[in-house]
Every structure is written in C-alpha cells, then in structure tokens.
Amino acid sequence: MDARGELVARMYPELKRIAENRMRGEREFHTLEATALVSEFFLELARQQQFTWQNRAHFLAVASQAMKRLLIDYARSRGAEKRGGGHLHIQIDALNLSTKDGVLDLLEFNNLLERLWSEEPRMAQVVEMRCFGGLTNKEIAEALGVDERTVKRDWQVARAWLVSQLRGGRPRVG
Amino acid sequence: MSGEDWERIKVIFEEALELPERERMGYLASACGSDANLSAVLVRLLENHLEQSSSGSTIVKGRVFEDGALIAGRLRITRFIAGGGMGEVYEVFDERLRTRLALKTLRLELTSTEDALSRFQREILIAREVSHPNLCSVFDFIEHHVIDRQTGESSVVPCLTMELIDGESLADHLARERPFSPTTALPLIRQAAAGLELLHDHGIVHRDLKPSNIMLAKDRQGAIRVVLMDFGLAKRAHRKDEMFESRLDVHAGAPYFMAPELLRESGPSVASDIYSFGLLIDEMVTSDRAFSAQSLQSLYFAKLWEAPIAPSLRSAGLPQNWEATILRCLRSDPGERFQRVTDVLAALEHASDVEICPVSNKNQLVPPAPPSTKPPPVRRQLRRRTLVSGFAVLSILGTGRVLISLPPNSISTSIQVYDIENTASASYNYLCKGTSVELIRRLSRVKGMSVIPMHEPRSLARESKVGRFTLEGILQEHKEKLRLSLLVTDNQDSKVVYSEDFDRQKIDDPLQLQSDIAAGTALALEKHIRPGSVGLRVQQSSLFPILSRLTGGFFRPLSQDLQSSPTSNTEAFDLYLRGHQLLEDFSSSSNQAAISYLQRAVKADPAFALGYATLADAYLNMMNYYQMPQKDLLEDARKNAEMAVNLDSDLAEAQDSLAVVRQTDWDWHGAERCFLEAIRLKPSYAIARRRYAGLLLQFDRFDEAISMAREAYSQDPYDRGAAPGIGLYFYLAGHYDEAIRFLEGEIGDGDMTAARHNLGDAYAEEAVRSTGSRREDYFAKAFLQAAKVSRIEKKEDFEKGRYAPFGDEMFAHYYSLQSNYAAARPYVERMLTDLESNRVSPAIMAWIFAVQGDKERALDLLERALATRDRKLFYVKQFPALASLRGEPRFKTLVANMGL
C-alpha cells in the first residue's frame, strides 16, 4: 500500500465518525456540509503524529485528496448498506450552487470529476482542492507550484463546466 | 473534447470574463469564428458562471431582539452593537436604575444543558468578583423567555448585563489605522496586561483574547482606556465540535489567536492566554499575521507545524526585544513561554533584560575563575570598556565591519546546537544544514566550550535539555525577504541570552554569517555566565546590540579559534555546504551529487583543505554502494585526503579522512597515527574517535575499542553513525547481550536500518547459542528486524522498489543459521544477482555460504573480495559468521595478507 493509501486506510474510521456526527438527519436524504467536515477532518489529520509532512503545501494537497477518497469510500459503503436511496448528498459551498439548496450527489459529482481528470488533470486537481480541501486559489497555486491566475482560470472554467453538467445539461463537448 | 480545445476554451473564457458584460457575446462570436460547437460550450459556461457569481451565499441571521424590546421587565433595547460567534451585543437602558448598560446574548447551543448553564452561572459569579478599570465589569445573568411565533414553543435566551463601553474595538482600530509604534503600543499593552494579570491572580483564564475582544475607550481627558471583554466565557466555544462553528470568524480572530495546544485538545491555561497575548501584541505593532493562512485548514497546519513569521519581517525597525518577547510568547510548547503576564511586560519594557539576562552567582554552574585570571575590578573595567566602546563605534563607521572574538579559556560551559530550521524554500536546505554543521564545528573549537550537536531542528526534536544553553535558528522567507534568526537560551531559566537576525545580504555571504553567529553566541554566553564583566550599564543603551559585538573584539586579540574560516572563497564554501548536506542523506545518488559539488568547491578554491577532506569522505562513502570500481574510488579518496593534509596538517577532519583512506588501504599503522593526530587536534571530534574504535577492533583490542566508541557516543550522542557502530563493536566482541541491550535502547521507533541490521544479527547469534523456546524467541526477534529493515529499505528506495540489500542479507543469513536453506534460497539468489551487478560485496556473500557450510565457495568469495580490497573484509577475523573458516589454511593466508 502506498503512503497515501495507508493514510486513507488509517483515517477512514475517523472520517466516518466525523461524518456521522455531522450528518443532517432531518433531511429526506442525508447531507453533509463539506466545509465543516473538511475543517474538522484536516484538524484531525494535522494532529496525527504518525504522518509526516514535508511542508504545508504537501499537507494540503495530500489531505484534500485523502478527503475526497475517504468521502467517496464512505458514500459507496453507505450505498452498499442501504439498497437504493443510499446516495450521499453533500453541500459544497465552493461550488456555490444556486439550486437544490446547493446540495449534490457525491458519486455523481465524482464521476464528473473523473471525466475531468482524464482530460484536464490540473483542472480536476484544482476542483478537488477547492471542494474537498476548502482551499483558496492562492493556497492551491502554492501547492501546485503554478500561478494564482492559472488556478483562477482553471477553477472558473471547471466550475462552470461542472455546474452545467450537474444540471443535467449536456453541452456537446468533444 | 481534446486538451487543446480546453486550453482554447480557458483562454477565451477568461478574456470574455474580463470584458464588460454587454461586450462578451460579440467577443465570443469573433473568437470562436465558425466553430459553432466551441461557441455553444462557451456560451453555456459563461451563463453558468454568471449565475454562480450573482448568487452569493451570505447568510444573514436574524437578531434575537428588536429595537425597543423590553427584556426581563426592565432592560429596553436601544440599539444593536455587534454580533459574533459567541452571541449578540446590544445597548440597553436599565429603566429601574436609569443607566445605560450592554446586554450580551449567549448562543443557545452553548448553554443547552442544565449542567452547562449552572457552571456558566458559577463562572459569572467569580468574574463579578474581579473589578478593575481594564476589565469590563459583569453585572447580572438574565434568562429571557422567547416564544416562537410559528411553533409556539418557548425557549430561553441566556443574557448577561455588562458595563457599556463607549469606544471601538482594537480590531476596528487596527483595520482603520496604521499599526501602533512600540512606544504608542506599550502603554496600551501595559493596561491590558494589568487586567489580564488580575484575572490570572483570581484563577480565571481569559480564553478568548483577540483584538475584537479588546475595547479602546476614551475617557474625559482623552486618554485611552483599554478594556478586556468576554473573559472566562469562551470555554465552551473551544469545545471540539463547537470550534468549527467559528469558521466565519477566521478573520475576526478566534482560531487564529488560539494557542496550538488548544487545537491539540489541551485545556486553556495561563500559558494559552500568554500565547494569545503575544499574538495580540504582534498584531498591534505589525497589523499583520504571524501565521499566514487563508483557509482554516492552512491555519491549523501553520499553528501546529510551522514557526511564526518573525514580527520584524512584517514591521520594519521593530526593536529586537519586542521581537524576542513576541516569539517567546508564541512558543508552541507552553512551558517555554513566559509564565506570567508581568514577565511579558517586563521583557518589553526592559530591552536589555531580554538580550542579556545576568544570572545571580548562586545559580551558576561554572566555578568562578581562578585568581590568576581574575578580571580587573568591575569599576575600572567598565570605564575602560565604555571609553573603548565609544571609539569602537567610530571605527565601525569607518570600516563597516568589526570582528569580535574571545580569548581561549574564556568560557567553560556546554551548548546544545539544533539544526537551523528551514521554513523557506527547500533550495535553502543546504544552507541551513551547512550553517548548523559549521556552527558546531566553530563553537567546538572554543576552548572550554562543549558543543552538543542535536542533528535536527528544535521543532522536530523531543524536548531535552542536555546542555547549559540551547542554540536554535530558523530561516524564513516572507515577501521576497529572507531572514535567518538565531536564538540562544539558558536552559536553567529559559531566558534568551542572545538573539540575532541576519538578512539576505548576510545570508549570501555564508562565511561572514557563520563568523558572526559563532562570535555573537560565544560572546553572549561569556557575558551571561560572568555577569558584570561587560557592561551591565551598557545594556541600558539602545546601542547595546552594536556595542556588545564591538567591545569584546576591540579588547581582545582576534582568536584563531573562532575566526579561522575554512575558505575565504564564498562560492567554494557555498558548494561545500551543498555537498556536505547531500552526504548526510546516506544514499548513492545524493552521495554522487555531493561528489560533484565538492569537486566544484575545491576547483573554486584550490586551497580549501576542508573541501578536499570532505571530498575524500564522499569517495570513501561511495565505496559502500559497490557501484563503481572500488580501486578507483580509493585512489580518488587518497588523492583528496592527502591534498587536504598537505594544505592544512592541523585540520582534524583532514587527518581523519586520511586515516580512513589508510585503513582502507590496509596501512593499519598509518591509519592509527592519523586517527590519533585527528583526536589530538580536536578532542571533541567524535567521528574520529568512533572510526578509530573500528580500527582497534580489527586488532581484537575489544576493551579499548568499546571504551573509545562509548566516549565518541557520549560526546555526540546524535551522530547518525554512532549507534550502529557501537552495537556492531559489542557484537564483534562477542557481547551479544550487551549489543542487544544497547541497540534496543537506541532504536526505539526509528528507522535506523544499519542499527537494526546489527540488532538482528545479535539476536540471531543469541538464538544459535540457546535452545528450546528461547532459541525460537530470539530467531523470531531476528526475523522481525529483517522484515522491518526490508520494509524500510523498500520505502526509502522508491525508484528501485524491491531493492532491499540489507533485508535480503539478513533473511538469507538467519534462515541459513536455522539450516533452512530452502527458505534462504530466494534471498541468496537475489544476492547473487546483485553480486553480479556489483551491488553486494563478495565478502557478505561469503558469510552466507560459510554459515551454510559451503567453505570452498565462501573462501573463493573472500579471496575475490581481497583482490578488490573490499572494505567489508575489515572485520573478517571477528565476524561470527566466518568462525567455521578460521582453521582453514586459505583463510589464515588471507588474514596474513591483510596484515591483520
């Protein structure tokens, strides 16, 4: 298992605990608020003594990615537990969605993100760090070693594309 | 869509966004030309973008009370003042007492349980007891009942009445005005400190010190009164699951001002208040943040793992004692901060106390100087110094640089030196490591000074106070500026005795930088240990930092001890530092890179003795990787070591390198002479002692070897080569139990492959000498070490993935000792492949075959190793694995040929 895999495996119970605590039970479908979750998860991760970080950028990059993988794992496990209707919904402030109270289906979102990965990996990474790491453009630029302007552009295009796709709109793209 | 399309979309999209909205469609049409597909995508993207940005998600929460409402039958709401994480604040008119008050609501979640509510009330009772002009008075606790109009449910809003303070918060002031100068800030800090100190005296921890909780009220005369608000109330806001609610407050304060131990779930304490107080002072004089973080996530990381950005980088001209005081408040270990608020204030008020803190005689570890070297009476000395100081100031104006140094025998003390921490870009790693090493080297040359290298930065080290003083440093980068800050503290009372900053210009000249640091440190220590010798009076002067560096130098002859620089060529020294740093990595690729740096270093300064000596070491190290012909490497090592000794025969490092060359050359006597010379030249050079121990062992001088190794170890317990070395010596001397005891104690959870290798071997030998369950037990322990070593090696060697030479050797060795040759086979085969590609020493291969009873093959391999003068043959006589060969004539010839 690689270092990141190990990190994900070790942190899974912790994330699950945080997620269950944070689940909004009163909803028709269970919804997580990404921002609150991310912040609690990052703090938990930062406290862990067994992981060592080269620097802040390394921590932020790894943690964002771990957060995403953990959430996807969690969403899948819930889907498996409850046949149908087990989808995990998440509210991602960074996306600033105006519909559905800003809530989206995590697995659907992940599928879109994977499509983005195959075509524009850096754009996908920017999305990951914004949505699952709660980071700002400046922080992402530092972590990826690119210009802040580049991050901003990537994010604007990626967000607009993701949003158009999430609404079921299918702009004809290549 | 292809990658190119995306690129084009991004460019057009961004350009469109920069245009006024009405021009965008026209631009799209011209930019996309006839590509209707592209145009459609872009229109879609733009629409989505516009919708998003217009729908901001600002949540405005309803206020609890409307203007004019009557609370608890007597308090009329006159206006809303502020709302925050803790609750809302209103101005009210008490209709019974005819007076204006402030009313604060407390968030319902914070007081939801009976228990919480009663504890809260108890705390208010205590807070009411504390009355001080700099503390906001708390009057009453009120429960206001509200009935929800929609659901009809009733709920309680707990409120607090407090003194109404007319003024603005420090946060508002700082947002509007320029930062305070230290002179303006000091009276305000003094007031805040007075209030805080009183709280602490009553056993109350403020818990939420931040600029928005500090009011600046103007009294009738126009003087500013500082009032601390909300003390003791924030506790539940720090409860784990509540903390994250304050996300919106990142800029208002809370998490930023929180002490790092609170993030680690320790409870609030006086020390955590001191931390927040430090940040508060910092913010007052810099209007900037000591931890730059935009998101809460970054902030957590910064607070837990990073050092604060030095205040003086953010506020030009900040006095040094302010900087030192702030940084001391911000220590991540609460025990290292000031213990009382008054100490913080004293440090700010008395500049000199922070820089030089004389200890009283009774605290001194160092015996008074013998009568013969007794300093002249203080008065006379002072007068002389003062006169000379004045002169020295003139001279610095003339020459721009005055060097200082110390006479020999001026100090008798110990200092632990941590590696300089690099928080700037990784490209400065070499500078930090190199400067640390050079500092250790230079300070250890000061007679009477014993230097304990810690080999890691303070922030990573386990807390240990092994010396009288601690030297630590940090390299920081902030908006194009680069600064190296050094701090020496007295371990007895944690006071700062020396601190100095070096800016980029200085850093670009590492030689001068190191001279300055070494000299400054030594001087500060001397003054610290011998109070009264230099300028208790001079301290009062603001010129002290300059004077302190001048007086010593002017008084005393420049000593060779501190000033001798290994080279006067800056470029050569820079290359040397880079090379030296790479050598510490213990991998073949970095070793190779180190060689090329060191070659360039001696090319830049052909008279650079230390450069040649280190280059020789690098070639000798390279021999361990079996990648290049051993003979060529040895020749290169020899040339450079001899060059180093020819250039400077008094350089211990040069003698030491030459000693190892001679040892590798089987010139045992020559090696011994050089080792002894190196030790004589620099008794504190632990590495030479450790290496000499190995030579002694080759000649079965076990007791001498072990005591020499122990000495080296006690001199430099953090030397990476020492622990496995000593373990090996015990092992070779046949003291397996001692080897085990020693190595088990040293390894702990560390990687330390070489030490684990030796430990595994020692377990295996004990196993062979035991029976029954003890035997099984020892073997199990040996295999466990083999497995750990394999794992560590594979982890370290990412590119090669499966490559674990030590691990393979250990498994092959232990299975062979168990006579389980089938299990050993895959490892042996892999070793044989590695042997063909010269990645394993034939001598090591020989051990395995000797253990397996294949004497012929073992002897063949040993003779093959002999032909290449393999270094692994050093302990051919001592290795237990080869014991079965000792009676063989071929083996005896081999040992005789080696001159052992």
Instruction: Report chain A residues whose CB lies below 8 A from the CB of B462.
Output: none
Structural domains counted in chain B: 4
Sign of the C-alpha dihedral computed for residues B666, B672, B677 and B683 taken in this order: positive
Report whether B105 contacts B81 (CB < 8 A): no
The Cα B193–Cα B341 span in angstroms is 6
Q: Which of B549, B505, B500, B499 is nearest to B523 (CA)?
A: B549
Domain membership flag for residue B281: yes
Identify the band that residue B477 occupies on the pLDDT scale cut at 50, 70 and 90. confident
Instruction: Answer with the residue of higher pLDDT: B85 or A142.
Output: A142
Instruction: Answer with the residue of higher pLDDT: B641 or A63.
Output: B641
Comparing B121-135, B729-743, B760-774, the range with the smallest average pLDDT is: B121-135
Comparing A8-17, B423-432, B442-451, B453-462, the range with the smallest average pLDDT is: B442-451
Q: Specify whether B39 is located in the same domain as B127.
A: no
Identify the band that residue B384 occupies on the pLDDT scale cut at 50, 70 and 90. very low
Instruction: Report percent pLDDT > 90 for chain A.
Output: 1
Instruction: Report percent pLDDT > 90 for chain B.
Output: 20
The yes-or-no verdict on residue A172 having pLDDT over 90 is: no
Q: Specify whether B285 is located in the same domain as B307.
A: yes
Task: Please compute the mean of the pLDDT values over residues B574-591 and round it to a whole number.
Answer: 75
pLDDT of amino acid B105: 80
How many CA atoms lie within 13 Å of B617's alpha carbon, on the beta-carbon side?
Answer: 25
Q: Which residues between 270 and 309 in chain B have a beta carbon less than 8 angstroms from any beta carbon of chain A? A: 293-298, 300-302, 304-306
Domain membership flag for residue B181: yes
Pick the residue from chain B with its C-alpha nearest to A159: B49
The yes-or-no verdict on residue B282 having pLDDT over 80 is: yes
Domain hosting residue B27, numbered range:
3-54
Q: Specify whether B43 is located in the same domain as B78.
A: no
Cα B421–Cα B422–Cα B427 angle in degrees, nearest 5: 150
Give the domain CATH number at B447. Answer: 3.40.50
**Inter-chain contact B13–A134, Cβ cutoff 8 Å?**
no
Q: What's this model's pTM, rounded to 2 decimal places?
A: 0.47
Q: Which of B230, B85, B59, B248 is nearest to B160 (CA)?
A: B230
**Inter-chain contact B264–A47, Cβ cutoff 8 Å?**
yes
The yes-or-no verdict on residue B3 having pLDDT over 50 is: yes
Q: Specify whether B207 is located in the same domain as B197.
A: yes
What is the torsion angle, in degrees rounded to the nearest 10, for the CA atoms of residue B437, residue B439, residue B440 and residue B446? Answer: 150
Instruction: Report chain A residues whose CB lies below 8 A from the CB of B241.
Output: 21, 40
Task: Please compute the mean of the pLDDT values over residues B868-889 and round it to a whole number.
Answer: 88
The Cα B646–Cα B426 span in angstroms is 36
**ipTM confidence score:** 0.80
Residues 6+ apart with CB under 8 A from B23: none
Domain membership flag for residue B840: no
Q: Which of B164, B184, B209 is the last residue of a domain?
A: B164
**Inter-chain contact B3–A157, Cβ cutoff 8 Å?**
no
Report whether B849 contacts B858 (CB < 8 A): yes
Residues 6+ apart with CB under 8 A from B479: B313
DSSP state of B574: H
Span B643-681, pLDDT tens digits: 999 988 888 899 999 999 999 888 999 999 999 999 988
The yes-or-no verdict on residue B214 having pLDDT over 70 is: yes
Identify the band that residue B525 occupies on the pLDDT scale cut at 50, 70 and 90. low
Q: Which of B475, B481, B480, B544 is nearest to B510 (CA)?
A: B475
Domain membership flag for residue B151: yes
Q: Specify whether B475 is located in the same domain as B520.
A: yes
DSSP state of A136: -
The residue whose two tokens read 């620097």 is A55
Domain membership flag for residue B645: no
Most B-contacting residue of A17, A156, A162, A170 (CB-CB within 10 A), to test interface:
A156
Task: Please compute the mean of the pLDDT values over residues B96-121 and round it to a whole number.
Answer: 69
Q: Specify whether B253 is located in the same domain as B231.
A: yes
Task: Please compute the mean of the pLDDT values over residues A61-87 and round it to a whole number.
Answer: 74
Cα–Cα distances in angstroms (integers) from residue B757 to residues B80, B713, B826, in the given order: 71, 19, 19
Domain membership flag for residue B798: no
Q: Which of B523, B543, B563 is the last residue of a domain?
A: B563
Looking at the complex, does the CB of residue B183 fall below 8 Å from at least one CB of chain A? no
Q: Specify whether B464 is located in the same domain as B426.
A: yes
Q: Which of B563, B595, B625 is the last residue of a domain?
A: B563
The Cα B184–Cα B230 span in angstroms is 25
Residues 6+ apart with CB under 8 A from B745: none
Q: Specify whether B110 is located in the same domain as B42.
A: no
Q: Specify whether B50 is located in the same domain as B79.
A: no
Q: Specify whether B30 is located in the same domain as B68.
A: no
Give the domain CATH number at B71. Answer: 3.30.200.20
Q: Specify whether B179 is located in the same domain as B260.
A: yes
**Inter-chain contact B298–A60, Cβ cutoff 8 Å?**
yes
Task: Please compute the mean of the pLDDT values over residues B562-589 and round it to a whole number.
Answer: 70
Span B832-862, pLDDT tens digits: 988 887 778 889 999 999 999 999 999 999 9
Domain membership flag for residue B412: yes
Domain membership flag for residue B78: yes
pLDDT of amino acid B859: 94
Q: What are phi and psi of B495, to 5 degrees?
A: -85, 150
Instruction: Report chain B residues whose CB lies below 8 A from the CB of A170.
Output: none
Six token digits for residue B346: 């004293």
Task: Please compute the mean of the pLDDT values over residues B700-718 and round it to a whole number.
Answer: 81
Q: Specify whether B379 is located in the same domain as B507.
A: yes
